[in-house]
Amino acid sequence: MVLRRLLTRLAAGAPVPVLPVAGLGMRDALRELRIRPELRPVDVPAAASVLVAAGSLPEEFGDPLALLHDGMPHPRAVVWWNPGNSAGPLLRRFADPTVVDGSADELVSAVVRVRRELYSGHRPSSEPVLAETGRAPWEGVGPYGQGGSGMTGGVPYGRPLAEVAPDRDGLRLDVVPLTVGPFFPQFPPGLRLEATFSGDVVVDCLPLVNPFVDIAHHALPVRPGLDVFFRALFEPVPIAELELARARDHLVWLADALSAHGLPALGVRALRLTHELEGTAAVPGVRRLSRAIEWSQVLRWSTRGVGRFDAAGRTSLGGCGPVARAAGLPDDARMEDATYRALGFELIVQDGADAAARWRQRLAEVVQSLALAKRAGAQRSEVTGQVESPRGLLTAGSAPASRLLPLLPGLLEGLEWGDAVATIVSLDIDLEEAGLAERLASAQAGAT
């Protein structure tokens, strides 16, 4: 009893392992939690105590979210940060969620308080949302539910069994169909991939439609940092603001990408740099981070040749920003803006067309954007109707993610899973941006 009390007391002082789930407008705010010493964001439900959902999520994510919740060990709780009006149906699925409408500090306080209440017994552990069994029917054809083709065609409780199919070496091996996402930790929020695996190799894959296009919401919540690019579609905006937002966005990507490659501490350093972009230490800080990433050459070795676009693939990269420029294409909407040209903007391009080139490209563009922001002063962009977002050409109705998603099957098929993840990470697919662009076009069409 004494030991248990001591353990409980000690446990209540540990950083809270939280499982973050980003909804509309909250991606970057959730990333910031990695810097907070009180919390320890984790990748999988088994390691978490508190599910932190943030912003609005599409209703179709209800079951995957419930699965995450039910996969957390007791004692557990749900905290929903800035849910907005449309999160109601999802929120109601949980027995006693804590809702926080406020700042990151308020969220952190709430999470710490919730965990303390869990340990002191003042709050019951969150009950399961889904039934224990039968979340999907057995779809076999035999009298005992077995088999669809041969002995292995069934889908027992939603988990498909292996089937046999030819592999890339001409052998017939087991393949497993699987949907990865929408909360796979290394994928961009919302990305779902229907893939077939043969061992470690992706045999085929198909990205599902962008869930953020049809999300019901009364207002368009735009992620801080992304809003300046959407404003630039309608009015001239300060170039310094655009370029600082671009540098910040690339650093947030860098933080995620470093974590995906096993360097979470350097990822935290990249996140810390996003707070220092307007100071004089920004460029040296970014250069030091670049050196810390590149000095060993291991990352370059791990990404060289991975997710490479062939000559035919490169022709489809128009408007894909850093991905296109990393493939050697002179593709940048800023070239059409006279103010940028007057500022001495020069295109940076690489020649690799692979994940390594895309890393180099973004690291170089962070420094370039900081220099442009410094030179720009109060000057504003001239071109409206289109803007070069951190991921490529953004217009009302079209964003880089909607151009990249159709390229995924050709790029990923035949890759080992680790390389497939590294490829997706390197592309910086932002479904939220694409969803907003499409909804903007719909709103404009409705208005006319």
Partner 1 sequence: MRPAAPLELAVPLVGIVVVIGVYVVAVLDQAISELVGGGTLRWRRVAFDPLRSAAHLVTQQRRTTERPDTPGWILAPALLSALAALALAMVPLGPTTVAADPETGFVVFSAAIAFVMIAVYLHGWSPNSLFALHGAYRFGAQALSLQIPFLLAMLATTLPAESLSIVDIVQAQESLWNVVRQPLGLPLYLVVGVGASFWGPMNLPDAADLAGGTGVEDSGVARLLWKSARSAMLVAVAAMGATGFLGGWWGPWLPGAVWVILKTLVLLVVLIAAGHLFARVRVEAFVVVAWALLIPLALLNIFVSGAVLL
Cβ nearer to partner 1, comparing 118 with 215: 118
* Order of strands across the sheet that contains 77-81: 39-41, 16-22, 50-54, 77-81, 98-100
For position 236 contacting partner 1 by CB under 8 A, the verdict is: no
Q: Return all residues near 123 (Cβ < 8 A) that are at least 6 apart.
A: 77, 96, 114, 117
Write out the E strands in 359-409: 387-389, 392-394
The phi, psi pair for 16, rounded to 5°, reads -80, 120
CA-closest candidate to residue 422, choices 202, 175, 177, 167: 202
Cβ nearer to partner 1, comparing 356 with 370: 356
Cβ(52)–Cβ(36) below 8 Å? no
Cβ nearer to partner 1, comparing 160 with 207: 160
The site that binds partner 1 (CB under 8 A) totals a number of residues, namely: 60
Shortest separation between residue 185's beta carbon and partner 1, angstroms: 6
Q: How far apart are CA 224 and CA 30, in angstroms?
A: 12
Cβ nearer to partner 1, comparing 240 with 421: 421
For position 112 contacting partner 1 by CB under 8 A, the verdict is: no
For position 426 contacting partner 1 by CB under 8 A, the verdict is: no
Interface residue with partner 1 among 80, 94, 184, 229 (CB under 8 A) is: 184
10 Å CB burial of residue 200 (0-12, 13-18, 19+) is exposed
For position 192 contacting partner 1 by CB under 8 A, the verdict is: no
Cβ(118)–Cβ(75) below 8 Å? yes
Q: How far apart are CA 96 and CA 102, in angstroms?
A: 19
How many residues are present in the chain?
448
Copy the structure tokens of residue 302.
């791990």
Q: Candidates 203-211, 296-304, 367-375, 435-443 — which segment interacts with partner 1 by CB under 8 A?
A: 296-304
Interface residue with partner 1 among 54, 87, 112, 263 (CB under 8 A) is: 263
Residue with tokens 């910031």: 32
Interface residue with partner 1 among 422, 431, 434, 440 (CB under 8 A) is: 422
10 Å CB burial of residue 138 (0-12, 13-18, 19+) is middle
Interface residue with partner 1 among 96, 127, 200, 336 (CB under 8 A) is: 200
Q: How far apart are CA 251 and CA 257, in angstroms?
A: 10
For position 281 contacting partner 1 by CB under 8 A, the verdict is: no
For position 85 contacting partner 1 by CB under 8 A, the verdict is: no
Interface residue with partner 1 among 82, 86, 126, 259 (CB under 8 A) is: 259
Interface residue with partner 1 among 130, 220, 283, 292 (CB under 8 A) is: 292
For position 301 contacting partner 1 by CB under 8 A, the verdict is: yes
Shortest separation between residue 60's beta carbon and partner 1, angstroms: 21
Shortest separation between residue 262's beta carbon and partner 1, angstroms: 4
For position 136 contacting partner 1 by CB under 8 A, the verdict is: no
Residues paired with residue 194 on neighbouring β-strands, in sequence order: 179, 206
Query: Which residues form the interface with partner 1 (CB under 8 A)?
Result: 4, 6-8, 10-11, 13-15, 17, 35, 37, 40, 43-44, 46-47, 49, 71-75, 119, 157, 176, 178, 184-186, 199-200, 258-269, 272-273, 292-293, 296, 298-299, 301-302, 306, 416-419, 421-422
